[in-house]
Amino acid sequence: MLMGLLATLLVGLTGCSTSKNTFPNRAYHNVTNKYNVLWNGQQAMKSAEAELAKVGKDNYTTRLPVYNYPSKSDLGSALPYLDRTIEKASKSIYKHSMLIRGKEYVKSIDDAYLIMGKAYFYKQDYTQAQRVFNYIMHNYPKSNTYNEAAVMLARTAMRQGYFSSADEQLENLHYLATNKKNKKFNVWFNAAKAEYHLTAPDGDKQEAIDFIQNTIDAHPKRDFKTRLYLILGQLYEEMGQQTEAQKNFMKVIKKSSVYEQIFSAQMHLASNYDGSESSRNAIMKQFKKMLGEHKNEDFKDQIYYACSEISRVDGDDSLRVSYLKKSVSSSTNNYYQKTFSSLTLADLFFSQDEYRMAQAYYDTAAMSIPKNYPDYDNILKRANVLKDLVDKLDEIDLQDSLQRIAKMPEGQRKAWVRKMIADYTEAERKAAAEEAERMLALQNASSYTNINTTSSNGKWYFYNQSLVTAGQQDFYRRWGNRKLEDNWFVSNKVQISFEDMAVMNDPNLAKDSVEYDEDGNPIKKRETDPKKEEYYLQDLPLTPGAIDTSNAIIARDLYEVGFIYQDLLNDIPRTCASFESLLKRFPESEYALPCTFLLYSIYLKQNDPKYEHYKQILLTKYPDTDYAKLVQDPDYYKKLANQEKIVEEKYAEVYGDYQNRQWSSVVQKSDVAMSQCQDEELKSKFAYLRAVAAGQVYNEDTLIVGLKNVISRYSQYDVAELARIYLSTFDAQKLATTLPTVTDTTQTSEAPVVETPQSNLTNLFVIKDDEMHYVVLLVKTANLPVQDVKLNLTNFNKTHFSLQRFNLSSFYINNTQQMVTVAKFNNKMAAMDYYNILVKHEKFAPDIANGNIEVYAMSATNYTTFYNNKEGRALYNDFFKENYLKQQ
């Protein structure tokens, strides 16, 4: 206090210059910096670290890392504190540093640099963090911050994937760890070395164990210490050293204050099962006890999974499946465990070729899987493949069942309908009785415990754990396990609209759902009441036309199922069975020819003599088809493809001449190309270009005749409509002013536009990761005021990117959308950092989900292309997914 008063007094007398090395100046800047600006920055850093600890949830189903690094998209709540830390550190350096002739006279300036570097590190801006840590090491080699900065520099290199640099940096520090009795430094150094050996490609588990033990010997904080014990136990377990693993798991149980760690250690202890009956009995007895304890209500899924591992060791697949099912069904909030158990069960069924069961559990996993789960994309891909397969198999079964019932004698069919109604009525009665019994039990429990917002002992409801548990159990009985999110009671959120929600709340708002046929007659509504006969009869194929439609559905699905088995599941026996079933049941189907060829190809590759049978069918039944020609000449398609490629290149050339108004060249080249082209649609485009060009070379009559020929010969293609529109302009305008120009595709009184060649659009957008980027928001103006979006963006930038300055602009790109641009970002990575936080923000996520806003990151080159090329804008969505989102 006295020092602060003295410094203030001296400042009043002499000023607060940072360039004059006087005692009053040094006193003022040392005191003011340490106890004001820097202190505020350090407090902001503590708040940031607390937020990072909240979002950095550990996944105990895998080996823990030494340090938990949240995903970049989850940093939103910590960013304001990290930015404030950087701001205060910068202010500390700018206003109070007294660096005179290479010497710093304010002792705490290096601390400001350190918290700045750590803030950048936590923001995962590793380039800036590296610069700051290097600066500290270069300019403050004798300061107290040097050691921590050196270790943080090595950790920064590891996060960037520069493991050789990190190893070299840590080796240079090794002498400090052996020669200095600095416990804090020994913790930092040895933990960093352990992290290196657990993450580097050339890392060594035994080395990691040694450095973790060194870290523990340096007496780190209690929570970090128990974390390291758990990692040690996991490492020893992986190396097959069960005795050492058990010792460390026991230390976790005794010393940890984190129940998740204690529980994980207990699970690992139980999993060290040697297959003996005594061991099994002891472990299962412990599991049974844990299942009965209320504190383990949220951990039952892990207990059941551990039970399944014992069954796996015993080789009892049936019991293992039973425990895994219980693990999935009992999961409450551990989405990693639910995903892990579901995937284990799904993989088990998949390996046994039980695709329906596998699909059900892949689907369960897909609903709960966190985005940072290992192999996330491939898991979702397999889930989607199996869903498609099972949907088609179900459709085949349904159509077969409908046909079987339709073929019944009328009396038998009516009897079947009556039985279905009776079964439904009985099931409904049982459900009502069970619900009444449940409600009675709940009322009895309510009267016994006096359930209301306060319990009998005066506690608020949510402070009474027994009442809360009873409520949770009742909820799970009614709804099952649901994520805490908007519209949690809706199973399929993808297909629900705001209109649907309104109708759910007020049925009177439902619109008239009567549909009409082409003649304006009302179409009979589908029966939805399972207690009426029509409900079961309405889909039966009772007429020849309905049977043909049903057979067409079965044939199509058998064909597509065969492709799924072949291309996506590599199940060749089922592929052949599906195709052969199709040929047997529908030999004249449109799919018979490709199925015959595919079976020929499969059996030929397998050297199975059956290929000869299908070869003869192709040569005798389909001799003039491409398939038969391919059997006779394996290079047939290659030759055909080369020919088509030449023609497509020719079209691009002709189209270029057309744009340049080289009419004679267009006519001549089109004539040559049309004689070589096998693709009728491409030929129609040549014909259209030739008609327009010939009209310019000769006269209007030539043009009119040419356009009429296009309409007559190519009526099924888009160019026929273009020709009709062009012809309609003749009475209104002269030919010279109605000549098609490559500007717009709108069908107005102007001449129509020739479609841009697809080859010109394929590579429309380019990959330039290091180029300056923008983030753009495409806003549907009918649903959302753009000014509101820009205001929300301004507030978002102030909160999450307060150290950066962005420009916002907006303009219409069509009649329904405005493009709001956030500029500028140094490169793709910076733009995607902004994008990842923006799309999760509460102000934007709902409108992004319902399609009112589309958000993209764009390089400057692609931004210009997107703006100028209306036809190609729709292609950017796929480009963005492939080159931006997928690479994350």
How far from 887 is each of 76, 123, 826, 829, 880, CA to CA, in Å?
Answer: 21, 20, 18, 11, 10
Using 50, 70 and 90 to split pLDDT, how confident is the model at 732? very low
Residues contacting 50, CB < 8 A, separation 6+: none
Judge residue 779's burial from the number of C-beta atoms within 10 Å of its C-beta, 0-12 exposed, 13-18 middle, 19 or more buried.
buried
Using 50, 70 and 90 to split pLDDT, how confident is the model at 752? very low
Under DSSP, is residue 105 helix (H, G, I), strand (E, B) or coil? coil
Residues contacting 667, CB < 8 A, separation 6+: 690, 693, 694, 697
Task: Pick the closest to residue 655 from 612, 619, 693, 624 (CA basis).
Answer: 693
Task: Pick the closest to residue 328 from 352, 353, 357 (CA basis).
Answer: 357
Q: Which residues pair with 100 in a beta bridge?
A: 103
Residue 352: per-residue pLDDT: 84
Backbone angles phi and psi of 524, in degrees to 5: -60, 130
Q: Quote the CA–CA distance of 410 and 414 in Å, as a whole number.
A: 6
Residue 134: per-residue pLDDT: 92
Residue 576: per-residue pLDDT: 93
Q: Model confidence over 535-546: pLDDT tens digits? A: 888 889 988 888
Residue 507: per-residue pLDDT: 53
Asked whether residue 213 carries a pLDDT value surpassing 60, the answer given is yes
Asked whether residue 589 carries a pLDDT value surpassing 50, the answer given is yes
Q: Which residues pair with 817 in a beta bridge?
A: 780
Q: Model confidence over 105-163: pLDDT tens digits? A: 888 889 999 999 999 999 999 999 999 999 998 888 888 889 899 999 999 999 999 99
Helices (H), 140-240: 146-159, 163-179, 183-199, 205-217, 222-238
Handedness of CA 477, 481, 487, 489 (dihedral sign): negative
Select the more confidently predicted residue: 745 or 387: 387
How many residues are recorded in the chain? 888
Using 50, 70 and 90 to split pLDDT, how confident is the model at 514? low
Using 50, 70 and 90 to split pLDDT, how confident is the model at 451? very low
Task: Pick the closest to residue 868 from 819, 808, 806 (CA basis).
Answer: 819
Asked whether residue 513 carries a pLDDT value surpassing 70, the answer given is no
Residue 389 and residue 567 in contact, taking contact as beta carbons nearer than 8 Å: no
Q: Model confidence over 786-803: pLDDT tens digits? A: 888 988 898 888 888 877
Using 50, 70 and 90 to split pLDDT, how confident is the model at 501? very low
Q: Quote the CA–CA distance of 658 and 665 in Å, as a whole number.
A: 8
pTM above 0.85, yes or no: no
How far from 442 is each of 297, 438, 465, 797, CA to CA, in Å?
Answer: 21, 6, 17, 50
Q: Model confidence over 821-868: pLDDT tens digits? A: 998 898 998 899 899 899 988 889 989 988 899 999 999 888 888 887
Q: Which residues pair with 822 in a beta bridge?
A: 775, 808
Residue 479: per-residue pLDDT: 59
Residue 497: per-residue pLDDT: 46
Under DSSP, is residue 777 helix (H, G, I), strand (E, B) or coil? strand
Mean pLDDT computed over 95-112: 85
Q: What is the DSSP letter of 568?
A: I
Asked whether residue 5 carries a pLDDT value surpassing 60, the answer given is no
Asked whether residue 482 carries a pLDDT value surpassing 70, the answer given is no
How many CB atoms within 10 Å of residue 161? 12
The 8 Å CB, 24+ separation contacts for 274-282 are: 275/313, 275/314, 280/310, 280/314
Q: Model confidence over 229-267: pLDDT tens digits? A: 999 988 988 888 888 888 888 888 778 877 778 777 877
Select the more confidently predicted residue: 742 or 640: 640
Residue 886: per-residue pLDDT: 76
Q: What percent of the chain lies above the pLDDT cut of 90?
A: 23
Range scoring the smallest mean pLDDT among 171-180, 417-426, 731-740: 731-740
Under DSSP, is residue 888 helix (H, G, I), strand (E, B) or coil? coil
Q: What is the secondary structure of 359-399 as a DSSP string?
A: HHHHHHHHHH--TTSTTHHHHHHHHHHHHHHHHHHHHHHHH
Select the more confidently predicted residue: 659 or 153: 153
**What is the residue-averaged pLDDT of the chain?**
81
Q: Model confidence over 265-305: pLDDT tens digits? A: 877 776 667 677 877 787 788 788 888 888 788 888 888 88
Asked whether residue 455 carries a pLDDT value surpassing 50, the answer given is no
Q: Is 101 left (phi over 0), alpha (psi -120 to 50) or beta?
A: left
Q: Quote the CA–CA distance of 185 and 193 in Å, as a whole number.
A: 12
Using 50, 70 and 90 to split pLDDT, how confident is the model at 474? low
Task: Pick the closest to residue 283 from 261, 301, 256, 309 (CA basis).
Answer: 309
Range scoring the smallest mean pLDDT among 547-561, 724-738, 768-782: 724-738
Handedness of CA 341, 347, 352, 358 (dihedral sign): positive
Alpha carbon 872 to its chain centroid, in Å, reads 25
Q: What percent of the chain lies above the pLDDT cut of 70?
A: 82
